[in-house]
């Protein structure tokens, strides 16, 4: 039995892997869990994909058949739904989106009554009911749910977003790549409301062009726009706007690691840090460790994935955490990454510092990183540490590097690959070490 739920909900090819029939069952059986908490109302949003309307109709039908009233928020970001669920007394929420993937894919992400993604146990309960095709006692006609317009709630989130700004953004020129995704209207409008001059691209979604060579996974576009339009800063969003890649006035990328440094210093300066920890992942560059160490702080690394960052933040009651990819979580404000909120917080930090974005971007001196894929039998990709030769070579590399480098081994979740990441100060050395280790893994696990 294959697990339906991945690290970020259910995802697959629309109308094939993720069909209307499956969406209905996810709503019907998921509704059995959601209706046990909250006020019986369930928030539902989607991004701009062609399949979004189809899956929304099916998911909503399942939820209403389970007895929940479904509030249709329309085209909105993932963090908007998470925030509204967290702030209200709703039974839960869902977003129909495949994030940064191309339009032919779609997904369904659920949030519980507190705005957190479902636990593995809750996901397993839903899958068990689907796999067993459990026959539920049907609600009578007077106990089914209704579909309700949620425009007022969207306006409430917009007001919240404007409230995050500490001062006017007047005088700033900001370039924005909306990726033809969920923020195609809201992001430019909010930034303009806050006083910024905005130059926006990829704001004309047609159902098929979401993330199409644009958005946060294609930062060359926003870099070019910022330079050509002489902007002070640039923002690039992915399809569901839970992540942000920024660029400075020189068109250089400010990725998640650099943003974590900027935010940590800003929060410390304004006495808003709840701990001396910043949560990253195993891919977080060691340059961030060096910078934060000088501030009396430390990087704590989780597995790759924003849900794992969040789990570690909750354990340590930490204020800030995130990934290189631009998922940044401000736990005092939301339960998930919020690209637009991250952008507002970044402008706050820049204006508060009195420095140009490029100066703040240069605070972290990055260590070179190299990633090499070892191609192996798919059945063996999780057993690399059981091989004595591979294990001893990894241990030797770690001893040789000491505090000046790292080895990160990650089996691919979808391909017959083991990814070898080496980080250190000498680019030529880490290239050689990574290739040698990948070759050893291939030879031993062929």
Contact (CB, 8 A) for 253 and 247 = yes
Told to judge if 383 belongs to the known catalytic residues of this protein, a careful annotator would answer: no
Take residue 290 and report the two structure tokens written for it. Answer: 């060096």
Contact (CB, 8 A) for 326 and 262 = no
> Any idea which residue has 């309960």 for tokens?
125
- Rg of the chain taking only CA atoms, in angstroms: 23
With vertex at residue 330, the alpha carbon angle to CA 357 and CA 177, rounded to the nearest 5 degrees, is 50
Annotated active-site residue in 51, 91, 97, 99: 99
H or E, element range at 4: none
Distances from the Cα of 243 to the Cα of 44, 184, 240, angstroms: 20, 14, 8
With vertex at residue 354, the alpha carbon angle to CA 232 and CA 160, rounded to the nearest 5 degrees, is 70
* DSSP three-state, residue 44: strand
- Residues whose CB falls within 8 Å of the CB of residue 297, separated by 6 or more in sequence, listed in order: 264, 268, 276, 277, 278
Percentages (nearest 5) of helix, strand, coil residues in the chain: 40, 20, 40
Strand ranges (DSSP E) for 298-375?
298-302, 320-322, 328-330, 369-375
- Residues whose CB falls within 8 Å of the CB of residue 16, separated by 6 or more in sequence, listed in order: none
Closest CA to 177 of 227, 206, 207, 219: 219
Take residue 408 and report the two structure tokens written for it. Answer: 């990160």
- Residues 11, 23: Cα–Cα separation, whole Å: 11
The two beta strands, 41-46 and 69-75, are parallel
Return the bridge partners of 69, or none: 41
Q: What is the CA 171 to chain-centroid distance, rounded?
A: 30
Q: How far apart are the first and last CA of the chain?
A: 26
Q: Which residues are catalytic?
A: 99
């Amino acid at each position: 039995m294959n697990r339906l739920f991945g690290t970020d909900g259910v995802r697959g090819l629309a109308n094939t892997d993720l069909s209307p029939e499956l969406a209905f069952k996810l709503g019907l059986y998921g509704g059995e869990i959601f209706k046990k908490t909250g006020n019986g109302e369930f928030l539902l949003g989607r991004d701009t994909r062609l399949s979004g309307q189809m899956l929304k109709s099916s998911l909503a039908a399942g939820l209403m058949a389970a007895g929940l009233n479904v509030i249709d928020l329309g085209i909105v970001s993932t963090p908007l739904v998470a925030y509204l669920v967290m702030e209200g007394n709703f039974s839960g929420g869902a977003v129909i989106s495949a994030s940064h993937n191309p339009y032919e894919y779609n997904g369904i992400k659920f949030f519980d009554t507190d705005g957190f993604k479902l636990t593995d146990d809750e996901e397993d309960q839903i899958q068990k009911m689907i796999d067993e095709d459990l026959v539920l006692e049907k609600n009578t006609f007077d106990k089914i749910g209704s579909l309700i317009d949620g425009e007022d709630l969207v306006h409430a989130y917009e007001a919240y977003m404007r409230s995050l700004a500490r001062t006017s953004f007047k005088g700033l020129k900001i370039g924005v790549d909306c990726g033809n995704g969920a923020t195609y209207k809201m992001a430019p409008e909010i930034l303009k409301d806050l006083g910024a001059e905005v130059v926006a691209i990829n704001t004309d979604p047609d159902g098929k062009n979401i993330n199409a060579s644009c958005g946060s996974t294609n930062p060359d576009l926003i870099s070019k726009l910022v330079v050509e339009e002489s902007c002070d800063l640039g923002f690039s969003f992915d399809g569901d706007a839970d992540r942000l890649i920024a660029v400075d006035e020189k068109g250089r990328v400010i990725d998640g690691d650099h943003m974590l440094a900027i935010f940590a210093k800003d929060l410390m300066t304004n006495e808003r840090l709840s701990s001396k920890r910043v949560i990253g992942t195993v891919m977080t560059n060691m340059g961030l460790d060096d910078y934060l160490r000088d501030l009396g702080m430390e990087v704590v690394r989780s597995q790759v994935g924003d849900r794992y960052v969040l789990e570690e933040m909750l354990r340590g009651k930490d204020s800030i955490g995130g990934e290189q990819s631009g998922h940044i979580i401000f736990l005092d404000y939301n339960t998930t990454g919020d690209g637009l909120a991250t952008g507002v917080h970044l402008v706050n930090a820049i204006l508060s510092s009195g420095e140009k974005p490029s100066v703040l971007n240069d605070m972290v001196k990055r260590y070179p990183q190299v990633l090499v894929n070892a191609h192996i039998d798919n059945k063996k990709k999780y057993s690399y540490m059981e091989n004595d030769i591979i294990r001893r070579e990894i241990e030797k590399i770690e001893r040789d590097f000491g505090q000046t480098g790292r080895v990160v081994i990650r089996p691919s979740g979808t391909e017959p690959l083991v990814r070898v990441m080496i980080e250190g100060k000498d680019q030529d050395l880490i290239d050689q070490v990574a290739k040698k280790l990948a070759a050893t893994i291939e030879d031993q696990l062929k």
